[in-house]
Amino acid sequence: MSYRFTSHRRSLLAAAALFAAVGCAGSAWAQAWPAKPIRAVVPFAAGSATDQIGRAFAEKMQAQLGQPVVVDNKPGASGMLGADIVAKAPADGYTILIGTNSTNAALKFLMKKLPYDQDKDFTPVAYIGSVPLMVAVNNDVPAKSLKDLVALSKAKPGETSVAYASTSQQVSSEMLASVAGLKFNMVPYKSGPAAMTDLIGGQVMVFTADFAVTVPQHKAGKIRGLAVTSTKRAAAVPELPTVNEALGLTDYELIAYFAVFAPAGTPADVVAKLNQAVNAAASSKDVLDKFAANGFSVEPGTPDDLARRNRAETAQVGKGDPRGEDPTAVRSHAGRSVGLPERGVAGRPGILNADRSAPSTAPAR
């Protein structure tokens, strides 16, 4: 009897020692993180606004974390392909997403089905910042102002070709068409730089895009900026009116924001370290100086801050869920319901296919 009790007690002590060892090992692992390079997936093409901002932040983050933060461009399907990679990655903090309000708020309303749960498969890490968009035209388009463009488009319904390479670019143009009573010919592109190349070359007439893509070309005289999509004029291009000013509106606004997400289940202490690294990058003077000309505005905060912001954005877009009462509606920051195109150029499907069953030509920001 005594022998059996002693054996049982020894087994309990051994189990307790093993549990303590495992706990210490887990704690040591967390303290040692990161012990290898971190992969930062950018779900849009190289040269896009997300890519430029993501690379600048990655460089600063690695100084804070002591490990390389390697940017990996995985463009396609409006950012869905890259987001899917991160959603299915191990929740260990070594794979993160440089996401946007396109990838983490709007996509589920634009696709019939995503290969992941947009609301449950990501852990919010940190808000990076936001940028307004610019409405721009090819230099040969006979429109010197946004009012001129509206008049031109009304005179020839459906003939004004408008490029887009992300959901925010698409929604901004469709919103403009809605408030001005226009019918655009929407043309999807795989990346912002590709769309800009065709705008400069005259293959499309209009492109509403992030400042990182438009401002340099506008200032170089290669395109003509007509207005900005924010509610206030932008310091980067103070000569351009807001859409509200140009058309006598009061509630038009659309911005694009950028944020870091990790796979759901990523340890809280790892998320905290990533958050600190992003916030440190956001406070870096050279990063701020680099993007100030592009209207980039940072707002460091906590993971909970990002979670609240993303929920609000998702709810705002969801008020115009294309699967709801209006099968082609979506909302912007202004809360106005606008129609999204079922097809772009003849024979070239846009983000929403005729049956909305899948993404089409894989646009990217």
The reply to whether 132-247 shares the fold of 38-130+256-325 is: yes
DSSP-derived 3-state class of residue 256: strand
Cβ burial of 102 (10 Å; 0-12, 13-18, 19+) is buried
Q: Which residues contact 283 (CB under 8 A, 6 or more apart)?
A: 298, 300
Is 99 within 8 Å of 256 (Cβ atoms)?
no
Q: How confident is the model at residue 361 (pLDDT cuts 50, 70, 90)?
A: very low
Helix residue spans in 66-202 (DSSP H): 80-87, 101, 107-110, 146-155, 167-180, 192-201
Lowest mean pLDDT among 16-20, 141-145, 208-212: 16-20
Q: Which residue has the tokens 């705008």?
A: 199
* Phi-psi label, residue 255: left if phi above 0, alpha if psi -120 to 50, beta otherwise: beta
Mean pLDDT is lowest, of 9-13, 146-150, 170-174, 225-229, for 9-13
What local confidence, expressed as pLDDT, does residue 363 receive?
36
Determine the Cα–Cα distance for residues 326 and 313; give it in Å rounded to an integer. 19
Residue 18 confidence (pLDDT) = 55
Between CA 181 and CA 293 the distance in angstroms is: 32
**Angle at alpha carbon of residue 209, lines to 161 and 49, rounded to 5°:** 140
Determine the Cα–Cα distance for residues 124 and 261; give it in Å rounded to an integer: 5
Residue 365 DSSP SS3: coil
Confidence of residue 319 (pLDDT cuts 50, 70, 90): low
**Residue 42 scores a pLDDT above 50:** yes
- Contact indicator for 200, 217 with CB cutoff of 8 Å: yes
Kindly tell me the burial class for residue 110, based on how many C-beta atoms sit within 10 Å of its own C-beta (0-12, 13-18, 19 or more).
buried
Question: 223 with 234: CB under 8 angstroms?
Answer: no
Helices then strands (H, E): number in the chain?
13, 12
Which of these ranges, 79-93, 231-245, 340-354, has the smallest mean pLDDT?
340-354
Q: Is 100 within 8 Å of 309 (Cβ atoms)?
A: no
Q: Which residue has the tokens 């655009």?
A: 184
CA distance 3 to 143: 96
The pair of three-digit structure tokens given for residue 196, joined into one six-digit string: 């800009």
Superfamily of domain 38-130+256-325: Bordetella uptake gene, domain 1 (3.40.190.150)
Characterise 362 by phi-psi region: left (phi > 0), alpha (psi -120 to 50), beta (else).
Answer: left
Residue with tokens 């054996």: 7
Kindly tell me if the per-residue pLDDT of 355 is higher than 50.
Answer: no
**pLDDT value for 315:** 84
Contact predicate 257/130, CB 8 Å: yes
pLDDT band at 290 (very low <50, low <70, confident <90, very high): confident
CA distance 165 to 56: 22
Which helix (H) or strand (E) is 53 found in, with range? helix 49-65
Spans of all domains in the chain: 38-130+256-325, 132-247
Q: Which of 214, 228, 119, 112 is nearest to 164 (CA)?
A: 214
Is the separation of the CB atoms in 138 and 111 below 8 Å?
A: no
The CATH architecture annotation of domain 132-247 reads 3-Layer(aba) Sandwich (3.40)
Residue of higher predicted confidence among 110 and 134: 134
How confident is residue 25, by pLDDT bands cut at 50, 70 and 90? very low
> How would you class 222 by CB atoms within 10 Å of its CB: exposed for 0-12, middle for 13-18, buried for 19 or more?
middle
Would the pTM count as exceeding 0.75? no
One-letter amino acid identity for 147?
A: K
How high is the pLDDT of residue 131? 86
CA distance 352 to 361: 10
